[in-house]
Amino acid sequence: MLLIIPDVLDAEQLRQYRAALEAANWQDGRISAGHQAIQAKSNQQLAQDDPLVTQLGDFLLDCLSRHPRFMAAALPLKVVPPRFNRYTGGGQYGDHIDNAIFSVPGTAHRIRADLSATLFFSEPHEYDGGELVMQDRRIKLPAGHMVLYSSGCLHRVEPVTRGVRLASFFWVQSLVRQDDQRTVLLELDDSIQALRQQVPDSAELLRLTGIYHNLLRQWSQT
């Protein structure tokens, strides 16, 4: 799965995020990298115990819980609390695959990463480079837009040679572990929503909705 989700945050929310992030206390991003990733990573991050991370992350998760496209695509069971990074001055993140399991800071909880997400806070014209590259695609989205993709996908962030790239990133453990099954469910949900607009009283719509829920019942893991 590779899905662009537009307008996760509105203009005022983006303004507030940008102001907070531009005044934040950034640290070397390699402090959170694993053994392999540390060799490829050159960026800045906010410390996971920074109160600003909790404040911004909780607000973002609340927005996503009310975003129908994210909920339909991710079918989230658990989410690693969002983190925040900054690329500038040639900062990059070479080819890597995200960890399979993440610990939740300050708890005993562990979360399997089925899906990875990057939410952009900088507009594309504000920086050169910084594309998220995977599956022969180069992704550089408007501020407030998010890309959701399979965590097992090889990807990288190109060097930022001008300006600053600000983003949030996090991982999702889905109710449905298999990527192809989530894709089928999303396509079926899209068809149901389209039919609901066209023929809201159709008996076939009721049948398709039942099929969706029975597949979800069969494939979900809690």
| DSSP states of 102-151 | EEPTTSS-EEE-SEEEEEE-S-GGGEEE--EEETTEEE-PPTT-EEEEET
User: Phi and psi of 113, rounded to 5°?
Assistant: -90, 105
Measured distance CA(148)–CA(116) in Å, rounded: 6
Q: Which segments of the chain have a pLDDT < 50?
A: none
pLDDT of 59 reads 97
Q: pLDDT of 94-148, one tens digit each?
A: 999 999 999 988 888 899 999 999 999 999 999 999 999 998 899 999 999 999 9
Neighbours of 73 (CB within 10 A): 22
Cα 110–Cα 155–Cα 78 angle in degrees, nearest 5: 25
Q: Show the domains of the chain with their CATH numbers.
A: 2-174 (2.60.120.620), 179-219 (4.10.860)
Cα-based angle 184, 8, 157 (whole degrees, multiple of 5)? 80
CB 128 within 8 A of CB 163: yes
Contacts of 138 (CB under 8 A, 6+ apart): 131, 132, 158
- What are the residues whose beta carbons fall under 8 Å from the beta carbon of 200, sequence distance 6 or more? none
Predicted confidence at residue 32, as pLDDT, reads 62
Cα–Cα distance for residue pair 33/90, rounded to 1 Å: 18
- Sequence-ordered list of residues with C-beta below 8 angstroms from that of 202, at least 6 positions apart, any chain: 195
Q: Using an 8 Å Cβ cutoff, are 109 and 103 in contact? A: yes
Paired sense of beta strands 155-157 and 101-103, if any:
unpaired
What's residue 39's pLDDT? 67
Question: What does the pLDDT read at residue 106?
Answer: 80
What is the predicted pLDDT for the residue at 135?
A: 85
Which residue reads 């979900």 in tokens?
220
What's the confidence (pLDDT) of residue 30?
Answer: 74
